[in-house]
Amino acid sequence: MSIRHAVVGTTLGDLTLVASGDALAGVYFPHHWTRPDRTALGDEVPAEGDPVLTQAAHELQEYLAGTRRTFDVPLALEGDEFQQRVWALLNQIPYGTTTTYGELAEQLGDKALAQRVGQAVGHNPVSVVVPCHRVVGKGGKLTGYAGGLRRKQVLLDLEEPSEVRLF
Exposed, middle or buried by CB within 10 Å (0-12, 13-18, 19+), for 125? buried
DSSP structure string for the chain: --EEEEEEEETTEEEEEEEETTEEEEEE-TT-TTPPPGGGG-EE--GGG-HHHHHHHHHHHHHHTTS-SS--S-B-----HHHHHHHHHHTTSPTT--EEHHHHHHHTT-GGGHHHHHHHHHT-SBTTTS-GGGEE-GGG-----TT-HHHHHHHHHHHS-SS----
**Residue, of 74 and 166, whose pLDDT is higher:** 74
pLDDT tier at 158 (50, 70, 90 boundaries)?
Answer: very high
pLDDT tier at 132 (50, 70, 90 boundaries)?
Answer: very high
Residues 24 and 3 sit within 8 Å (Cβ to Cβ): no
Residues 41 and 80 sit within 8 Å (Cβ to Cβ): no
Active-site residue, 80 included? no
We report the CATH number of the domain holding residue 38 as 3.30.160
Is 71 inside a domain boundary? Answer: no
Relative orientation angle of helices 81-90 and 114-122, to the nearest 10 degrees:
80
User: Same domain for 58 and 89?
Assistant: no
Domain boundary among 21, 37, 64: 64
pLDDT tier at 163 (50, 70, 90 boundaries)?
Answer: very low
Percent of the chain with pLDDT over 70: 95
pLDDT tier at 161 (50, 70, 90 boundaries)?
Answer: low
Dihedral angle of Cα 29, 35, 38, 41, to the nearest 10 degrees: -80
Is 70 inside a domain boundary? Answer: no
Mean pLDDT, residues 2-14 taken together:
95
Interval 30-89: pLDDT, tens: 887 777 778 888 888 988 989 999 999 999 999 999 999 999 999 999 999 999 999 999
What is the span of the domain harbouring residue 146? 81-159
User: Same domain for 139 and 113?
Assistant: yes
Residue-level pLDDT at 115: 94
Is 76 inside a domain boundary? Answer: no
User: Same domain for 45 and 89?
Assistant: no
Given a cut of 80, is residue 18 above it in pLDDT?
yes
User: Same domain for 90 and 60?
Assistant: no
Give the angle 114-16-6 at the CA atoms, nearest 5°: 150
Per the structure, the count of domains in the chain is 2
We report the CATH number of the domain holding residue 85 as 1.10.10.10
* Alpha-carbon gap, residue 27 to 6, rounded angstroms: 10
**Residue, of 140 and 111, whose pLDDT is higher:** 111
User: Same domain for 51 and 85?
Assistant: no
Residue-level pLDDT at 72: 98
- Which of 132, 136, 146, 155 is labelled catalytic? 132
Interval 88-128: pLDDT, tens: 999 999 999 999 999 999 999 999 999 999 999 999 999 99
Is 72 inside a domain boundary? Answer: no
Is 149 inside a domain boundary? Answer: yes
User: Same domain for 55 and 89?
Assistant: no
User: Same domain for 97 and 28?
Assistant: no
